[in-house]
Chains A and B, each alone.
Chain A
Amino acid sequence: MSARVVVVGSGMAATRLVEELLARDTGARITVLGDEPHAPYNRILLSALLEGTHRADALTLRGLEWYADRGVDLRTGARVLEVDRDAREVGLVDGTRLGYDRLVLATGSIPTLPPVRGLVGMDGRLDERVHAFRSLDDALRLSRAAASARRAVVVGGGLLGLQVARALGVRGLDVEVVEGGDHLLRSQVGAPAGAILARDLRRLGTAVYTGTRAVRLTPAGLVLDHGYTLGTDLVVLTAGGRPSVALARSAGLAVRRGVVVDARLRTSDPRVHAIGDCAQRGDRTTGFVAPAWEQAGVLAEVLAHELAGAGGAAGGADPRPGRTLPAYEGSRTVARLRATDLDVAVLGEPETAEGEVVELTNPVAGSHRRLVVRDGVLVAATLVGDLSRIGLLTQYYDRGTVLSPGEPGALLRGERPGAGATPSAASLPDDAEVCACAGVSAGRVRACGSLEQVRDTTRATAGCGGCAPAVRQLLATRPSTTLEGTRA
């Protein structure tokens, strides 16, 4: 009988795991239990959806038919209530019980409510102005509300908060951001970068309040700890999220901040694994897609290995020829702010990474860039307000390229210093090549009297045609012709 793999969650990590398992042809019977009513979708795009630049339909990662066609039992709206590890079963809210041989927790993270009084009314319901921003339904509800709203306050100045603030700003709302820390994006970047971001946001029409907390929601608006009240139609809570561990904890699995896993993404029960935002490897949990996908790849390989019959022994040789069992030892992360007109990239942990720092702040242009280099390798970076060479810096970071001592500094200078200053053809020396197609020098063009003569005797301009402007310029600036012209 083929092994039963049950995946709790249908987010980015779970979807990737299913794809990776199918690609390995493990023969396992896979069941995916998602508590949202939708087919798996790309959570990364929710702010683009809110902004109005990405259609809701285009978020779907895999349609329901896709799962059905591949024999995967995808259940949407399926909420798991408990895990019975002795019976190796999960119990759903609707009373269904499903047995498993391997269980994968991919439950993600959940937003936490900040300690603000008045968020929840007397009737126990969330104030209708209040929005979370985690799920597709959250985004759709906020998007609908934004259509008739004029003002919005975003609580939290992290990556998510800034994306939501900009999305609502692009939608035409008056937006204010409240951040309890002393600068924006404080988990990722330092104060100078945060200050530049705040200035950029203000320039874009968004008010920013840092070092202050929202304490109470009243009919008049959101009251800050210094007493100021922000009148608003919408309050979006983006501050705080934590790994969703309730299921793991009640099942008696080892849980710290997240569900504790080893290098094979195994929890304290060898038949139960965890990946994505809910998992904790070493002292780290992550909130990004790339690590979740790396984990999904590793886990798929581990499961393929174990289900192929090698049992649960860790680190053993893979029974399939030519394959070794991978291990997950952590990821390099690149955090990119997806917000129109705000340029931010954070590679690794630039505030805490050890190494030498090369930093360039240009308050006039509104940019701050910081490269952290250890033994010649770029180990972290902050790029705010200037993303030039982003496609090179991330490559160096990801691949651990060893740079020369002068290189980090050079990388922060302009990309093409000479660009834009095309010298006039008139000043070219006689031996400079003007026409690459025919191999014609400026001198040979100067020796001709007309465009026709140039074409017929040198073949310049008779190839790709790109040199025609230069040839005209050379002919026009020939001393003899202009003199003849004036003498005539």
Chain B
Amino acid sequence: MSTPPAGPATGTRTHCPYCSLQCGMTLERSGRTLQVQPWADFPVNEGALCRKGWTATGLRGHRERLTSPLVRDGATGELRTASWDEALDLVATRMRALQAESGPDAVAVFGGGGLTNEKAYQLGKLARVALGTSQIDYNGRWCMSSAASAANQSLGLDRGLPFPLADLERTDLVVLVGSNLAETMPPAARHLDRLRERGGRVVVLDPRRTATAERADLVLQPLPGTDLAVALGLLHLLDGAGAVDEEYVATRTTGFEDVRRSVAGWWPERVERVSGVAAEDLRELAGLLADAERAVVLTARGAEQHAQGTDTVLAWINVALALGLPGRDASGWGCLTGQGNGQGGREHGQKADQLPGYRMIDDPAARAHVAGVWGVAPETLPGPGRSAYELLEVLGTEGGPRALLVTGSNPVVSAPNADHVTERLDALDLLVVVDLVLSETAARADVVLPVAQWAEETGTMTNLEGRVVLRQRAVAPPAGVRDELELLADLAARLGSPVPFGTDAAEVFAELGRASAGGRADYSGITHERVRAEQGVFWPCPAVPEGRAPHPGTPRLFAERFATPDGRARCRVVEHRGPVEQPDAAFPLHLTTGRVLAQYQSGAQTRRIRDLPDTGPFVELHPLLAARIGAADGEPVVVTTRRGSLRAPARVVDSIRPDTVFVPFHWVGANRLTHDALDPSSRMPEFKACAAAVGLAASPDPTPDVSSTQAPVRERAAAGVPA
């Protein structure tokens, strides 16, 4: 370990383990306890945290922490403790045997957007070099892949925000499309409040009048899956009013004329009928945008998690481009990333089609470069694999992978059409899960490998701004638990990897930097030391020849040119199709999903923290709808879709559209309901919109069948894992 940074003598500066804001915090030890304290001068959150951050040390010493590998006993079918040697040998032997029988792609890897850059990088290398499999993807595909795909297509670069978050305070108008940041990343809302104190405006588009909407000047409540139509209508009004920045679109973009024509048919009353947003409200928003000198459009999961997510983001980018916003001071389009390392996690090789540095795996030059860094021949690298859902869907099927290594993800809770995915996991010959606790997915595994978490490890994360920040080890992991970099190196060796894997985070980061050099996400000029000294470094930050001043990093993008070959942004024509599954007589409502403040993602961590309220899932519905089905607040109701059903208490609020119900996704259940249609470009599933029915639960049941954290253990075939 390197020396701790300057700061409180007893404290370690690090970042919150949860969302993409990566709030700075200080961990202080006193005796055996570890306490979260503010890190006041970290600019993203300035010492502020939400209750998830304040209670983040709650998993330390938790009775549910795994401290020994677990192996499923062939005789009893139960998980039992095992030594690391036994567990890793079992994993390596079985994987090799399955590959010998069915080819290299018989083993697949599923990563997560919460892994550090170093771990994500090593995971990708493990797949491509040690396993030689093309079958790797990660849960970030379900996070912001639609924004990534849209940004690459239009701006040539995929970085969440094109500027530091604090720039929001200096703009005139912020339009939040499908973001509830006041609950999902509360400290970010401080920047909006300061903007409003200065006289700036905030607009929120969400089917629910959320906590974020409560602090907005204008709220539009479109139907789930219609943000695209709203964007088309806005551009229609802006063009009609002559508010398009003609010089900008002429000199900095291509394709705008076709886009302009394509929105001539999207007059406000048509948008109203499609989206449920009153034409008058759309006109008001267009007026605000037309009048704002500086403006920022931010999309988030509400807009992106659809089978048309990429097109939806493209439509909003078109609005921003038409107004000449990207590249202008405190203006532009951005995406509010979700997972802690949603940004970095997709840049360094966990994605089925990418190599480190955001290089495409089918590009011969990219393969040659990365193979050179890895010390292997380019032709040994596999080609592109399947995207997350497509990968899970074929597990254990003819021609699909027979073994899966999962780390940093809990797909039993978080995958769309989750019952189907769970069936596929159960059909594997070998499921290996790396986690801190026995998550719902780990509970179904053949081998569970316990690893160090957050405060026990060092590594970089890349936040929603594209700022690389440093997570620093403050305490030692519990005995029996291994650092994940060590685990990956050990496993690689046991698999017979032709090259060694590093275990020191700073060294692995340096290797990652070399692998990324010259790529779109170039980290080669960044070191752990610089990150520590500069409160983070924004990529791209290429290495410079020795003797020259280091590259300062790139806090703000696109001032001069876009990252496309000709430097111009691409305006792309997109048409609204709407959600794949529309309400009908049997399923007359729209269902959408999302988060609550006190929980994070599949809840594997937050549901176990005592100081965070674990309410279990609930069904949010409007009083008009509640009256229709005869439900009172708190009464159990059942939501049903064509894929599954969920029983949970009703939460009756007048802040949601009366034709829409909402279920939070932190517990088993919500994703039994969701649709698995995929975006053709990003392969994002349609999490945020499907058709549903809701009714009173038939009989009172004191123990809702969905809030259990323990999934039933599957039955093992006799020919299961050898003991």
Chain A contacts to B: CB under 8 angstroms: 41-42, 44-45, 48, 53-55, 58-63, 66, 289-290, 334, 336, 338, 343, 387, 390-392, 394-396, 398-404, 406-407, 410-411, 416, 418, 436-439, 459, 462-466
Contact = CB atoms under 8 A, between A and B. Distances in A.
A398 B582 CA distance: 12
Contacts of A465: 48, 187, 189-190, 193
Nearest to B655: A416
Contact of B186 (A63, A395, A464): A464
Contact of A395 (B48, B49, B260, B659): B659
B258 interface: yes
Most interface-central of A59, A392, A400 (chain B CB within 10 A): A392
Given A437-B597, A464-B189, A392 B276 contact: yes
Contacts of A410: 624, 627
Interface string B245-285: 00000000000011011001101011011011111100000
A401 B659 contact: yes
Contact of B264 (A61, A289, A336): A61
Interface stretch (B93-101, B234-242, B345-353, B412-420): B234-242
Nearest to B182: A464
Given A54-B241, A394-B273, A45 B50 contact: no
A48 B47 CA distance: 51
Nearest to B53: A463
Identify which of B193, B240, B585, B588 gathers the most chain A CB atoms within 10 Å of its CB.
B240
A465 B48 CA distance: 8
Contacts of B280: 343, 387
B659 A437 contact: no
A396 B267 contact: no
A454 to B, nearest CB: 14
B613 A58 contact: no
A211 B659 CA distance: 42
Contacts of A63: 257, 261
A424 to B, nearest CB: 17
Nearest to A418: B654
A49 to B, nearest CB: 9
A406 B627 contact: yes
Contacts of A439: 51, 598, 611, 613
Interface string B414-451: 00000000000000000000000000000000000000
Given A45-B264, A66-B261, A464-B186, 8 more contacts: A55-B241, A58-B260, A60-B264, A334-B269, A343-B280, A390-B272, A391-B275, A464-B188
B54 interface: yes
B396 to A, nearest CB: 28
Contact of A61 (B188, B261, B278, B585): B261
A399 B588 contact: yes
A395 B583 CA distance: 10
Nearest to B583: A399
16 contacts: A44-B267, A45-B267, A53-B241, A55-B242, A61-B261, A63-B261, A290-B270, A407-B624, A407-B627, A436-B211, A437-B51, A437-B597, A439-B611, A464-B190, A465-B48, A466-B215
B193 A463 contact: no
Contacts of A411: 624
Contacts of B193: 464-466
B183 interface: yes
Nearest to A332: B273
Interface string B436-468: 000000000000000000000000000000000
Contacts of A398: 273
B239 A466 contact: no
A439 B270 CA distance: 43
B223 interface: yes
Contacts of A438: 50-51, 54
B190 A53 contact: no
Contacts of B270: 289-290
B628 interface: yes
B223 A395 contact: yes
B225 to A, nearest CB: 13
A60 to B, nearest CB: 6
B555 interface: no
A387 B38 contact: no
A395 B239 CA distance: 27
B657 interface: yes
Contacts of B223: 395
A407 B38 CA distance: 50
A318 to B, nearest CB: 21
A334 B242 CA distance: 28
B272 A394 contact: yes
Nearest to B238: A58
Contacts of A464: 48, 50, 182, 186-190, 193, 211
Contact of A466 (B189, B242, B275, B278): B189
Contact of B588 (A402, A406, A418, A437): A402
Contacts of B585: 400, 402
Contacts of A418: 654
A303 B276 CA distance: 32
A387 to B, nearest CB: 6
Contact of B267 (A42, A401, A406, A466): A42
Interface string B588-617: 100000000110000000000001010000
A466 B183 CA distance: 11
Contact of B279 (A41, A45, A336): A336
B384 interface: no
Contacts of B598: 439
Contacts of B215: 466
Contacts of B214: 466
B383 interface: no
A42 B624 CA distance: 38
A16 B261 CA distance: 13
Given A392-B659, A394-B272, A439-B613, A61 B189 contact: no
Given A387-B280, A402-B588, A462 B627 contact: no
B51 A459 contact: yes
A479 to B, nearest CB: 29
Contacts of B583: 399, 401
A53 B264 CA distance: 14
Which of A58, A410, A438, A459 has the largest count of B CB atoms less than 10 A from its CB?
A: A58
Contacts of A289: 270
Nearest to B269: A336
Given A436-B597, A437-B597, A465-B190, A42 B276 contact: no
Interface in B636-687: 654, 657-659
A63 B23 CA distance: 50
A385 to B, nearest CB: 13
Contacts of A395: 223, 276, 659
Given A390-B278, A392-B659, A394-B273, A463 B260 contact: no
A369 B660 CA distance: 24
Nearest to B281: A391
Interface in B194-246: 211, 214-215, 221, 223, 236, 239-242
Contacts of A290: 270, 273
A436 B276 contact: no
Contact of A462 (B38, B258, B654): B38
Contacts of B211: 436, 464, 466
A463 B50 contact: yes
B51 A53 contact: no
Interface string B625-641: 00110000000000000
A419 B692 CA distance: 29
Nearest to A404: B628
A258 B631 CA distance: 50
Contacts of B48: 462-465
Contacts of A403: 628
Contacts of B265: 42, 61
A401 B588 contact: yes
Contacts of A48: 240
Nearest to A435: B51
